[in-house]
Structure 1
Amino acid sequence: MNLELRHLKVVCAIAETGSVTKAASALGLAQPALTAQLQRIERTLGGPLFERDRRGARPTALGELVLARARVLLPAMKGLQDEAARLAGAGTAMSQYRFGGVNSPILGRLVHRIAADQPHAQISTYASWSVDELSQMVISGRLDYVLSGVCGDATPSAEFGLTWRAVAVDAVFVMLPEGHPLAADDEVHLADLGTERWVAAPGDGCFGDCFAAACARAGFTPRKVYETDVRGCLDLVDAGEAVALCQATFRPVAGLVTRPLAGAPLRWRLLLGWHPDAPAARIAGRVVDHAVSAYNDSLARNPGYLAWLTRNPNFGAQQMMAA
């Protein structure tokens, strides 16, 4: 048997988890199949790679040698594959647009604008709650652009080396059922929501910490925070079980209202990201323009927020502002 990269991944998985059973689960394999594969690897290399007992699996001296080489080879091969994917498309015109989005309020309108501008372009979308996952997909050449949001002045992790541009800066509103005592107010003070239960959609980033800090400044700790998908958030608010923070551009369904928080204690920046060495970078300015136009399209259908923006000019579209 010739040793392959997939075999090195098996050895690394066993070492990282400390157990053949756990490694099999992590790799999506049955334990007997992984055990048989490890035995074939060990025969190829001429000796046992792990000492195995009831406490788990620990590398032998030979295993440590193989691991040392594998931890150099595997990242190097991954880097080669990522660079090759970007280079393969570097000489071709952008005939496809692959967008990843984290609960983005403008993705649909952005796709519509690009499709109208380039009717023959292939456009695809991918949704995730994790901006890190989407950034990794851009690095590996599986996505061209990421639409994401961050709170306040935060930026996504610099670990992935993406270029980010701000499309818009929005205030964060609160969503209430129509029958809520504060639903008739023009704006709501966060301190007046101190006894409420809350609901939020999942996601990475620091928004949860920013929300907790804003509540602390308002003099309370959130009583309860449910976590569910967007549909679940709407259901819990509609049932009167919770209130929710929401993007100001969100148009609520019947029975729900959105209201600005007094003083705008929370802000949300909508960002577009891409890899600076990928073909997508060459036309990123045009895509940012489309994204800003898509954002403004969303405002046209939200007269309440448009009126709020005229009184708060520091918010709204931020065309080509560096993130």
Structure 2
Amino acid sequence: MPTSIHAPAVSFQAVSKEYATPHRGRFKALDAVSLDIRPGEFLGLLGPNGAGKTSLIAILAGLSRATSGRVLVQGFDVQQDFAQARKRLGIVPQELVFDPFFSVRETLRFQSGYFGIRHNDDWIDELLHHLGLSDKAEANMRELSGGMKRRVLVAQALVHRPPIIVLDEPTAGVDVELRQTLWHFIDRLNREGSTVLLTTHYLEEAEALCHRIAMLRQGRIVALDQTSNLLSAASHTVVQFKTDQALPSALAGFARVTGRIVQLPAQSVAEVEAHLAALREAGIRIDDLEIRRADLEDVFVKIMGEAGANDAAVAGGVR
């Protein structure tokens, strides 16, 4: 039974998940994760590959059973009250799963039927319009591109008007147009009261959309705060530039390099000047120099680095 009208939209209560593996024995994918998502909140769940994000969502969706702990959706236990919990969720999975025998409209009508909803064409038409699928309504699912199939997955998740929307890497590998279309629509639904849980590797999306951020590492929450608080706590700036040359060893140890783009954290104006002086002395030619405030990606890298260092210290017996 639901706890009360004031219950969290989703409540993860000391959720752990272990798997048996042939070479590693028992592997703990989730380690006592506790997290409440507030009604109407837009929460980002971030973490590197293997952090446990998909395991947590699979347990939320009822596709996997927690080793210990429990998950409530608007007060309904996802195992004991599966039907009540599931109809309150609209889940967009990472994988492109579709039935090749139906058109887009037929797919959405069948999905409506799974939840006992008849005569849903007005809402289906609205979904098709907002997700740029109106001209594909009668097309067979097999005929659609990968990006169009992902739009249909989003429509399927929303077709029963769930109060809680779960987006598991919804924009992975899709074009800019779909990303903008999707976020405009999801942001509107959130402003109208829908609760949204998002996992993404596009941290600029999380920074722009999410009210709060939870960061997972090795199955544990290592940070949980308002997005604005996480950003304001990052007091450092970043020296960013492009170069085709190898950095001097004094900078290479802490630089973040992506292709030609180099990012160097700096805690003060003096440290910015020291970075630039080291580049000049090494004869490094740079382009597109920019000095900016730290963003969510910088915060994420810092928190994951600190959590990794703490884990290594504990493992090594350092007190």
TM-score relative to the length of structure 2:
0.21
Q: Which has the higher contact order (CA 8 A, sep 6+)?
A: 1
TM-score relative to the length of structure 1:
0.21
Greater Cα radius of gyration, structure 1 or 2: 1
